[in-house]
Structure 1
Amino acid sequence: MGGGRLPGLVNSTAYRQLISKNGAAMKLGDRVLIWGASGGLGSYATQMAIAGGATPVCVVSSPEKAEICHRMGAEHVIDRSAEGYKFWNEDGTKQNPKEWKRLGSDIRELTRGHDVDIVFEHPGRETFGASVYVTKKGGTIVTCASTSGYMHEYDNRYLWMNLKRIVSSHFANYREAWEANSLIRRRLIHPTLSKTYPMDQVGQAAYDVHKNAHQGKVGVLCLAPEEGLGVTMPERREPHLDAINRFRNI
């Protein structure tokens, strides 16, 4: 699990949203703003952008998460907690366009004056107004999930007068899922698994994901008493054979 979904589901979701012609149809050279870039969905998007010849601009919420993005190969990372963006007023009733502009300025500072071609949007209400604003003229905001709220608000002038488009994306079809999984099989991308929990701590795992206390993805050992029992290479299974046999006899 991680970000509330299984790894294969999140991988396929990110593939359709960013790569597929049914999503943003990212191409070589695109600049892509990725919210939550170290998380389950965002970490896949970051790796796909790099593998596909695009330039990710990663937005995270801590120095530790920024380091995860750097280790994945991302050059441009914005720590929103350090920058202190306030896209909404204190009671959450009105947005602050000056903060959208500040984010846009920070992005252009990283990209040598360029706006992003694509915004990989999944936080939803909290960030959507900023996402529409910072996208380049003719660019794409591709959206799913909306973890901070489904009722999005944005200034339509920045969409309409600049010929931007909003594209919705949900999971994947069979071909997209196969292509996404192929990227993992070929080791072009990998899950950023940061922690595993035993089955009796699944509630804690869900709580940590809900509170954004995790980094990357987390896993739950559903059928194995310890890590490493799912491997198939004989030399790696050997140290676990006793545990495997004990588990089979339960």
Structure 2
Amino acid sequence: MDVLSKAVLNGAPPEELERLPLPEEFLAGHLRADDAAAMAGDTDKDVRRTLHVGHVAMPELAPDEVVVAVMASSINFNTVWSAMFEPISTFTALRRFARQGGWATRHDLPYQVVGSDAAGVVVRVGSGVRHWHTGDHVVISPAYVDDQDPGSHDDGMMGPHGRAWGYETNFGGLAHYTVVRATQLVAKPPHLTWEEAASVTLCAGTAYRMLVGDHGARMKQGDVVLVWGATGGLGAYAVQMVRNGGGIAVGVVGSRDKAEFLRRQGCDVVIDRREIGLDADGDTDPAELGRRLGRAIRAEVGEDPHIAFDYVGRSTFGLSVHVVRRGGTVVTCGSSTGYQHRYDNRYLWMNLKRVIGSHIANLQEQTECLRLFEQGRLVPVLSSVYPLEQVADAARLVQENRHLGKVGVRCLAPSDGLGVTDPAARARIGEERLTAWRRDAPAHAAAGADR
């Protein structure tokens, strides 16, 4: 371990961290461009074949950037996509980014450090950074925004040069160090451990924008909200937000274990997708399935959903359009089962329904979302944690949908449970609430995790 990492772990003061040199290279979970051909044509694109752990070079720091010593990160499905080289190689995105010139050219390398979540300690700030300092404890938003894009001043996600950090950029969070723009930083909730804080920004921030923010479905009290994949990272945070906001959460899951677990977490209505005959491959005509799902929901709550929260994509989107009520909203941010959606447009236009596309969250939305964690109104949905050396196994767990909530990855943190700087707040919120997903998750979801 380099001397700067040791100093961070020992809690060295900011002035000492600034005196110590950045390492010339660091350990990182990364992909290699040459591996794309090896995956072509394979039926099972096992990410353990392409997600490597090894040393990479420390990039030069731009004036508006900071270097963060990453204590922990987590797995998101975009890392699975990257490691599968689907739907296209993310090295294509890096080459496209580099064509902007200037500092962007650093990102076009024969390897890509992936990962779109992180929590850690700022160890360097660029000359143009004003609001952050060495020693700050931060979490990192995956919204890689160009603050000189006019659109970003209306909404950070509307700038045409915006990207998903660690997916469409290099130098992501599954590493000992990362280089990010200062506009990606949010103060770490002081009562959370490093691994808990690292499981928050991408999924919770995205769910906040989809449901609560002005750019999403704008859920209100009493709304019935259908949440697909309700034990995944996005879905689990969505269920919490629906219940906090006075809505009625209808969670859909894919197994009996997950259904029982979700009920224990307080979801208002839980539906096992197998009970309505939903084919996970998504090629079934949604009309009959929609009627079955609609009957199941009405039997529980007496009415159709106001909102469908859909990040699953191909296998669910047609059902979402079908089952939301007249004037209802389908809000979507992803397509983990496929991008080509099939739906009957009559249900959309003749019933005046809306479809809202949503992507990550702007910095204000992220800040508002993290405030809810600090208040204890939202809690982490972390179910298992792996060391960085086993990041490929962690990604495989997510690839096969054997996980619950979020799968964490310790980077520099030598053990779980570190990073809490406000133990009084943690005690007030309650250890049982904060660790419920870790404690109560079915054993199969944590198989192989290093506890």
Q: Same fold (TM over 0.5)?
A: yes
Which deviates further from its counterpart, 68-77 or 46-55? 68-77
Residue 87 of structure 1 contacts residue 100 of structure 1 at CA under 8 Å; is this kept in 2? no
Match of 2:251 among 39, 54, 58: 58
SS in 1 for 2:326: strand
Q: How far is 1:99 from its partner? A: 1.3
Residue 276 of structure 2 contacts residue 289 of structure 2 at CA under 8 Å; is this kept in 1? no
SS in 2 for 1:119: strand
What 5-or-longer segments of structure 1 have no aligned partner? Answer: 237-250
SS in 2 for 1:137: coil
Q: How far is 1:38 from its partner? A: 1.1
Q: How many residues align?
A: 232
Q: Counterparts in 2 of 1:1-250, with a 5 A limit?
A: 1-4=74-77, 5-6=116-117, 7-86=200-279, 92=283, 95-112=285-302, 114-232=303-421
State the match for 1:243 in structure 2. Answer: none
Q: Which one-letter code corresponds to 2:372 in the other structure?
A: L
Q: Over aligned residues, Cα RMSD in angstroms? A: 1.9
Could you state the TM-score of these two structures normalised by the residue count of structure 1? Answer: 0.87
Q: Which one-letter code corresponds to 1:167 in the other structure?
A: I
Partner Cα distance (2:363, 2:357) in 1: 18
Task: Provide, for residues 145-166 of structure 1, a one-character-per-residue CA deviation record: whole Å limited to 9, x for no partner.
Answer: 1111111111000000000000
Query: Higher relative contact order by CA 8 Å / sep ≥ 6: 1 or 2?
Result: 1
Partner Cα distance (1:142, 1:234) in 2: 37
96 and 8 in structure 1: CA distance in 2 versus 1, 3 angstrom threshold: closer
Partner Cα distance (1:173, 1:233) in 2: 27
SS in 1 for 2:308: strand
SS in 1 for 2:306: strand
Partner Cα distance (2:280, 2:388) in 1: 39
Could you state the TM-score of these two structures normalised by the residue count of structure 2? Answer: 0.49
Which deviates further from its counterpart, 188-197 or 65-74? 65-74
Residue 75 of structure 2 contacts residue 409 of structure 2 at CA under 8 Å; is this kept in 1? no
SS in 2 for 1:116: coil
Partner Cα distance (2:418, 2:281) in 1: 47
SS in 1 for 2:328: strand
Task: Provide, for residues 51-75 of structure 1, a one-character-per-residue CA deviation record: whole Å limited to 9, x for no partner.
Answer: 0000000001122222332233212
230 and 224 in structure 1: CA distance in 2 versus 1, 3 angstrom threshold: same
Q: Which one-letter code corresponds to 1:80 in the other structure?
A: R
Identity of aligned residues (%): 49
Q: How far is 1:82 from its partner? A: 4.0
Partner Cα distance (2:422, 2:376) in 1: 17
Residue 2 of structure 1 contacts residue 40 of structure 1 at CA under 8 Å; is this kept in 2? no
68 and 192 in structure 1: CA distance in 2 versus 1, 3 angstrom threshold: farther
Larger Rg: 2
What 5-or-longer segments of structure 2 have no aligned partner? Answer: 1-73, 78-115, 118-199, 427-451
Q: How far is 1:234 from its partner? A: 7.7
State the match for 1:245 in structure 2. Answer: none
Task: Provide, for residues 86-108 of structure 1, a one-character-per-residue CA deviation record: whole Å limited to 9, x for no partner.
Answer: 3877xx3x624111211111111
